[in-house]
Amino acid sequence: MERELTSVFRALGHPIRRQILDLLKESPKTTGELNDFFPNVTRYSIMKHLNILEEGNLVVVRREGKYRRNFLNAVPLQEVHNRWVGKYIQTTASSLLNLRATVEQNGGKQTMTTNDNNFHIEQEIFMAAPREEVFKALTEKVQDWWEFRLAPEGKTSYFTFEPVPGGQFIEKWGENDGAIWGNVYYVNAPEEIRLYGHLGMQGAVNSSYTYRLIEQDGGTLFQLSHSASGIIQENWEQDHSKGWEYLLGTLLKNYVEKQ
């Protein structure tokens, strides 16, 4: 943990790297696109800055043909917050979803802004636990740590997750009431599992998410990929990004590391 935090602080120690993170917060960008924002900086220097950000796990890189697309990974920043800021102030967990789909109240009328577009989230978090234990917590033990609920207020619900093709990630309350959070369409246990489902997003939305678990340095590197397209409310990408940071970087990580 100390080594990881040192890498994070080193990555944040240069103004260009902080500007790069600000740009990636707006949207993922290729290395060439980032270089265009810094006309007085060489491409070689931008690559060095990106490598330091990647070493600090603040940037996740995905190869797309000959291009390198860079994604912001805010989970390490959440860990810094949890270690220091969270000790001194009461924090409210960021919502994974805007479940009520309400953005504003205007004279008693509900309004919301939507866009026919898409978003893509990439995050990574290191967990000091064996890969098999992380996979088990993610599936069989999800009830123990998954905090968000779709159940109506006052209803007690519970989760089941079948890690087999055709299985489902389900929340149930009552005998016949419940909601499907995800449908499993690919499993390579304990390395990878893929699902599709709205995750609480309402309307004409296609959503899929993938968990990858890689053995690394006596623990597990957890990689999340989440894509959604269709009628997307403007706040959904930010809500989901913060929600995943909290679920994976705080709830799941704490759960598996304390077992």
We report the CATH number of the domain holding residue 222 as 3.30.530.20
Q: Where are the alpha helices (DSSP H) in the chain?
A: 2-11, 15-26, 31-36, 43-55, 75-80, 86-88, 131-138, 236-246, 253-257
pLDDT of the residue at 159: 94
End residue of a domain, out of 20, 46, 72? 72
- Bridge partners of 226, per DSSP, are 121, 209
Range of the domain at 252: 110-257
Tokens of 56: 């600090």
End residue of a domain, out of 23, 56, 72? 72
Q: Are residues 237 and 163 in the same domain?
A: yes
pLDDT of the residue at 137: 96
pLDDT of the residue at 229: 84
| Sign of the CA dihedral running 27, 96, 64, 131 | positive
Per-residue tens of pLDDT for the chain, all 259 residues: 567 778 888 888 899 999 999 999 888 899 999 999 999 999 999 999 999 999 888 999 888 888 888 998 887 877 776 665 544 444 333 444 343 333 344 444 444 444 557 888 999 999 999 999 999 999 999 999 999 988 888 899 999 999 999 999 999 998 889 998 999 999 999 999 999 987 766 666 788 999 999 999 889 999 999 988 887 887 888 888 889 999 999 999 999 999 7
Q: Are residues 119 and 237 in the same domain?
A: yes
Say which amino acid occupies 188. Answer: N
Q: Are residues 123 and 66 in the same domain?
A: no
Q: Are residues 122 and 205 in the same domain?
A: yes
Give me the number of domains the chain comprises.
Answer: 2
H or E element that contains 237: helix 236-246
Q: Are residues 124 and 43 in the same domain?
A: no
